[in-house]
Amino acid sequence: MSRLELMTWTEVDTYLKRSDGIMIPVGSTEQHGPIGIIGTDSLVAQLVAWRAAKICGALVAPTIGYTPAPFNESFPGTISVSSAQFSNLAAEIALCLARQGFRSIYFVNGHGANVAGLRRVRGSVKNARIRIRSWWEFEEISKLRKRLYGKWEGMHATPSEIAITQHVYGSKLVPLEARQPPKLLSKAYILAHAGDRHGPADQHRREFPDGRVGSHSALASPEHGKQLLSVAAAELARDYLRFLRK
């Protein structure tokens, strides 16, 4: 058993006798373009964590799914909270776990705008070690994303994240417009907007009317998703074990 919410407290107590580590997936609830589902970031982070946990014997806490995405508020279905609120919540979760003996806390991130808030958690949680990694940043997964999609991976509603949800939850029909690539982003744009540093919601929707930010989502396929999930999980499992050994 690797999911906290499916365990009894006595099972957790037993787990703590052999390990002080825990993964916390962190996602978002936001638009992901015309074929990506609203929960993409949360679903992918937790799928990667669940799969990795089976490999490395980790425990996975419930996913934090309400996070900052103010730039997507003009797309219906997006639920955004302030970065401060999110950061406080993540810190309180980590502090509570640390008091029970979880001293190695690994945030598995699925949403660029979470990174700044998660880094602030480090400052407020003194009695536990904190690691923050986004599932797409490991070396092998970066190579695979590049090989599958090249420049069309883009920044948001990426074919790689959508492929993983397709593999597990099925695919949406691709509307005609979404079969075409979106406008290609310049290197300067990508650099300036890393970590989801986007403008106000109305302006963001005007700039990216179908919600894709440089990502050709329609290149995704369930077969790709299967491959991406297994590579990401293997890398996360390895990195989690490295983190515990330190």
With tokens 């998660």, the residue in question is 118
- Name the burial class of residue 184, with classes exposed (0-12), middle (13-18) and buried (19+) by CB atoms within 10 angstroms of its CB: exposed
Q: State the nearest-atom distance from the C-beta of 23 to Ni ion, in Å.
A: 19
Judged by CB, which is closer to Ni ion: 32, or 131? 32
Q: Which stretch binds Ni ion (CB under 5 A): 38-46, 70-78, 80-88, 191-199?
A: 38-46
CB of 173 to Ni ion, least distance (A): 20
CB closer to Ni ion, 136 vs 243: 136
**Interface residues for Ni ion in 130-189 (CB under 5 A)?**
161
Is 66 in contact with 117 (CB distance < 8 Å)?
A: no
Applying CB under 5 A, the site for Ni ion has a residue count of: 3
CB 133 within 8 A of CB 236: yes
Nearest-angstrom CA–CA distance, 54 and 229: 13
210 binds Ni ion (CB under 5 A): no
d(CA 160, CA 148): 8
Query: Are the CB atoms for 81 and 68 separated by under 8 Å?
Result: yes
**Tokens encoding 109:** 């991130």
Distance CA 60, CA 180 (A): 38
Beta carbon nearer to Ni ion, 153 or 161: 161
The pairing of beta strand 104-109 with beta strand 21-26? parallel
Return the residue nearest Ni ion (CB atom).
41
Which tokens sit at 171?
């695919």
- Residue for token digits 């302006």? 203
1 versus 168: smaller Cβ distance to Ni ion:
168
Binding mask 55-94 for Ni ion (x = CB under 5 A): ----------------------------------------
Nearest to Ni ion of 21, 112 (CB atom): 112
CB of 30 to Ni ion, least distance (A): 7
Q: List the one residue from 41, 153, 196, 210 that touches Ni ion (CB under 5 A).
A: 41
Residue 162 vs 237, nearer CB to Ni ion: 162
Closest distance of CB 14 from Ni ion, Å: 35
Can you tell me which residue has the tokens 């536990």? 128
- The helix/strand/coil state of 55 is helix
**87 or 134: whose CB is closer to Ni ion?**
134
Joined tokens for residue 96: 């509570």
Q: At its nearest, how many Å lie between Ni ion and the CB of residue 234? A: 21
Binding site for Ni ion (CB under 5 A): 40-41, 161
